[in-house]
Structure 1
Amino acid sequence: MISKKDITKRFISYVTVDTESDPESDTTPSTAKQWDLANALVLELKDIGMSDVTIDDNSYIMATLPSNVDHKVPTIGFVSHFDTTPDFTGANVKPQIIENYDGKDIILNASENIVLSPDYFEDLLLYKGQTLITTDGTTLLGADDKAGITEIISAMEYLINHPEIKHGKIRVGFTPDEEIGRGAHKFDVKKFGADWAYTMDGSQIGELEYENFNAAGAKVTIKGKIVHPGYAKGKMVNSMYIATEFINSLPRMETPEHTDGYQGFFHLHNMEGKVEETVLQYIIRDHDMGHFEARKEVMQNLTDAINEQYEREVITIEIKDQYFNMKEKVVPVMHIVDIAEEAMKALDIEPLIKPIRGGTDGSQLSYMGLPCPNIFAGGHNFHGRYEYVPVESMIKATEVICKIVELTAEKA
């Protein structure tokens, strides 16, 4: 169907463009360099023969593949994001191609002794004999989510070149700033005009997800009082000690490194402190809405208790909801998950239906009126130097897209 050479070339052309997003920016996209790939994608969509190709002032891209059947078929969409995470540099990506992977250690960078090993990353052994694309150990790869873009564009090109595959109207959408939680914020669902869509933003081959975390962010600010340490008795208040008290009062085992599956957590991801002020940045996650609300209440109650202990306001907390579990919006239209599952089975792919321990554009889009489950894009170890993607997984994801549109037309 899709040649390894073609899909590899397309993927590498995307990941070698730096599109790192910036949470401190208030523009959309958050970094000007995201326009570089966005504008190139617009040209490519036009070149392969897509219709109604548009890019708006915030770099949201949309395009159409018209229906080639004469009966009414639901309009479905496929969505991916082109930014990469600010967690690790995405500049000067130098992909390495590992043909016929032998199941042994992969030397990513000999001079820095950076090794991608199946002893630590066991999933590598799933791909013995396949072609892997890795980093050179100094950057991330960008398969999250440039693999998804590769698959969507490759599928559209294949459908254009093979009109014998019958399908309804298909919409594709590419977004900026997903990695900083804003990918869907300015997505025009009405303009997109799909009955439902799929984000191609999952990991391992076979993943099919329609549940995700409820999510909030919390900023905890602790105020202290600086006094000369030689004369500080009874006068100095060290905000860093109070911050330590706050941190240690939360459940120690309810953190990302101690949880999996449906288990939620509190995650301290940034801390800056001096005697006079310490700021803690947390994310709060839980699949269950009741537990999610309880987690926020735990943090508020802890804040109140510490203020009571010091008999004044030494600590404040600001909690903001970020996104919610898409399950509530997808279950009423569960046939859209069933179609994706059927498509995978038809291609001899074992569906791995499980909750997302995170969020995607799809979680927000589902609450904006566009039900949007998530499908595997094939990459592993996102957001770091050990990221890799099997080329065969990208090919399979491309085939899944084609099969979904075919099945949707057949069932209409």
Structure 2
Amino acid sequence: MGNRTFLSVTNANAKSIEYEHIAFETNNFLAPIWFCLVGREQFQRYGERLMEAWSKIQPHMDEPDVETFPEWESFSDAFEWQIPWLEAVEQMRLSLPRTLARYPMLAAPVQEWLNTLSTHVRLYPEPVIHLELSQYFSFTGDPALYLKDIEEYVSLCQSPHPSQAKVWQGAAESGYKLGGEHLPWREHKAVQAEQVLETKAAQSDPPTSVKRPSKLLQEFYIWLLAILLAALFLIVYFKTSSFWLAALAFLVPLSVPVLWHILFERPGKTSSHRPKSDALLERNNSLSINVFGMEHFDGNSLIGADGLQTGSAEDPSIPALIPWPQITQAQGISSHEIVLTISADHPPIPVAPIHLRLNGQLSAKDAASAINAIALAYKMAASAHDQ
């Protein structure tokens, strides 16, 4: 048991919140990343409504039957915090770059949190975010202190400061501390159908694949050929007593598969199963390589509100600013190298992947995760506007 808080998603016309609407749940703490969905005006309206309801019930708090008063019902209703998804996702789009620019170690759990949130949001034509925090109020019993705690979490996303580093670092150590327990929406029938399709795909070979002998069978053919050639050598040698004729009888059959390999097998053909990082490195050898760094509070971060600031003024083939909606994916290919895949729908940014090398202390893994999380937030915002 404990004082639980919930982030739920329903449609705008929903009359009640059921358990299946819950996307995230915490026990005895507030999840800081939830408040990237909350703007200051949204928080101010919520606080004013709650304080107004408190002013009406406070004179009756000592009454034994206070919970039967209509003012108590109004006070309970004031805890209901609903944020239209379009408003929430716009705030998230602005908040995440500010946060991840300074705390890139949060990027991987934030991306997982966004993926879970999207499984709920995409179910509804007019999604609404519900924050149920009333049980957290029980820690203080004072709405002013309760709202002060929430305001601190809103500030974490709105205006990150070095003094908040311990909060984010503690949250980064556990995805649960960052966003709560994840409860993705998974319809049973849809999951079963997906598993069936995956099983069938795994059991069937691609129509264009070519059947090749197994390694064990290939080894059997080699030993069989060796035995036959040795037998042929011995037979000719004992029949003719000529070592050279026996050697010729051995070499002529052996030369047939060798010549076949030389004439009909394409030399230099590489395997299609090379490591993905090697393929990306080879593919990007012809592209410009940009060198840049991502700073934290010690300097200006290249993760901006509008896009990734590459700082490539000396290289006209790479734009100085790549807007977030144009980034399809970022992938780390070494400890300090990443590759950006650019959407083909946004010229004149080059469609070919852009190969970037980090010269700062930030690892490529954290940089790629931060870029992917922000790009995902922008995709979710674009999808919300298209509905």
TM range (shorter): under 0.3
Q: TM-score, normalised by structure 2?
A: 0.20
Q: TM-score, normalised by structure 1?
A: 0.19
Higher helix share: 2
Q: Which has the higher relative contact order, 1 or 2, with Cα contacts under 8 A spaced 6 or more apart?
A: 1
**Larger-Rg structure:** 2
Higher strand share: 1
